[in-house]
Structure 1
Amino acid sequence: MKRTFRLKTAVPILLIILLLGSLALNGYLFLKTRQYYLDLNGTRLDPLGLRTYPVGEAVVKEEGEITAVFFGDSRAAQWPNPTGMDGYQFINRGIGSQTSVQVAARFQQHVAPLQPDLIIVQMCINDLKTIPLFPQNEQAIIQNCLANIDQVLAEAENLGAKVILTTVFPVGDVPLERRIVWSPDIAKAVTAVNEQIHTKAGQNVFVFNTHAILVDERGLLSQEYARDELHLNEIGYIYLNEKLIEFIDVQELTP
């Protein structure tokens, strides 16, 4: 009798829990879909994100001061200015979700007018993360990334600016909802692009190996530095800036 009563009581409770769980999941999926729809159509209205920053904006700087521009995708956009860098004026021109072609195509509008002395570049992950969707285009995607990096380097050279070309950050642990559109091929492609990035070092191009700084023993973005599978948390950027300052000092890129 007691067992029957408990069963009759437990079934409605279980059904309520399942219903609430279903409502929560559907609400989450709705919000994610809505945000994706907004981002997609926002990009259609402004494919290069030119309205994100003033176009043609000039910079006033003190004599002997170095203008340094962070340029690239969301990883660049979220990169905070290093502290304690006397003689530097840092400006950010990163835009989230941009592919390498979008980044390269807006150089003249967002970077050239600033007349930077130094450009810090982080780009390509938004190309490489599409490989599971278009596996037949993997090599073309990789080559396109490298071509767009070359375009940025060429335009920087025309300005007479030095470039700190950062390797593509490692990817991290992937949440359940993204695994259906994820693949280990993304991390492999990051490695392939980074191998080529190292070959681009030159007189005015300095390769900063951010991947080696941020990766863990699994070959993934260290959980200590990860905000999600693609982005760094505050601790990650603090550590990265410490290494960036050391790198700038070693390369003698000081005023």
Structure 2
Amino acid sequence: MNKIAFTLFLLVLIPVSSMAQDWAQLNEFREANKRLEQEMNVENRIVFFGNSITIGWLHTQPSFFRDKPYINRGIGGQTTPQMLVRFRQDVIDLNPSVVLILAGTNDIAGNTGPMTLEETLANLKSMTELAQSNNIAVILCSVLPASDYPWKPGLRPDIKIPKLNAMIKEYADKQGAIYLDYYSAMVNGKQGLDPDLAEDGVHPTKKGYEIMAPLAEKAIEKALDKSP
């Protein structure tokens, strides 16, 4: 390998290696979490934990989070195994009263490799058990509808998402967690989202989040009533 080829190899390799070293993206909120250490006694802190749909909420409808003890810990593209790795840092260590977990669609999309619905549910179970063992009330959110993924078509989320949601609801009922059903309030006749709720069929618009907001607040109120 000549010098030029070797240099190009390194330029490609180094960023990939850096990403691999922080596979779960623990660094994303590390500094923000440190700043919260001075406010650890905030009453009824709520963590919104998820992927791009969660962090997109903060950017698209920031008023929902303003002047409330709501902490957004969504990272775009993440799957449940990545979220499980960062669950202690980005949820438990923040000492919340409640966590809302919204995840699973990227598992179905295969963002970190092929996964079964059972494997996704197992990760959600682990997060739930970790939270409950630390006296954090859990809200398990349904996966939002998607008739297909524009970036990876043909994976049939229109079939898999309803199946996963049924599994999540059954587990939540057995485990004493709250099941938050966004799906039923947003789904159209094609098991997806209308363009006014999600222009790309996956990520909610402001109107989409406006449907989600009162459902989330109702679930939070219920969770705080049950919180230890």
TM-score range, shorter chain: 0.7 to 0.9
- The yes-or-no answer on 1:49 pairing with 2:28 is no
The alignment's TM-score, normalised by the length of structure 2, stands at: 0.78
SS of residue paired to 1:78: helix
Query: What residue number does 2:116 align with?
Result: 141
Q: CA RMSD in A?
A: 3.1
The alignment's TM-score, normalised by the length of structure 1, stands at: 0.70
Query: What residue number does 1:207 align with?
Result: 179
Query: What residue number does 2:51 align with?
Result: 73
The Cα of 1:93 is off from its aligned counterpart by 1.0
The Cα of 1:243 is off from its aligned counterpart by 2.3
> Separation in 1 of the partners of 2:29 and 2:135?
22
> Separation in 2 of the partners of 1:190 and 1:196?
10
The Cα of 1:237 is off from its aligned counterpart by 0.9
- Larger deviation, residues 43-52 vs 197-206: 197-206
**Paired residue type of 1:207:** Y
- The yes-or-no answer on 1:221 pairing with 2:172 is no
**Paired residue type of 1:239:** I
CA contact (8 A) 2:158 2:190 kept: no
Query: What residue number does 1:152 align with?
Result: 127
Shift in alpha-carbon separation, 1:243–1:59, aligned structure 2, 3 A: farther
The Cα of 1:40 is off from its aligned counterpart by 6.5
> Separation in 1 of the partners of 2:136 and 2:148?
36
Query: What residue number does 2:158 align with?
Result: 187
The Cα of 1:41 is off from its aligned counterpart by 6.4
Paired positions, count:
207
**Paired residue type of 1:50:** L
User: Looking at CA atoms only, which structure, 1 or 2, has the larger radius of gyration?
Assistant: 1
- The yes-or-no answer on 1:168 pairing with 2:180 is no
> Separation in 2 of the partners of 1:252 and 1:213?
20
**Paired residue type of 2:119:** N
Gaps of 5+ in 2: 1-12
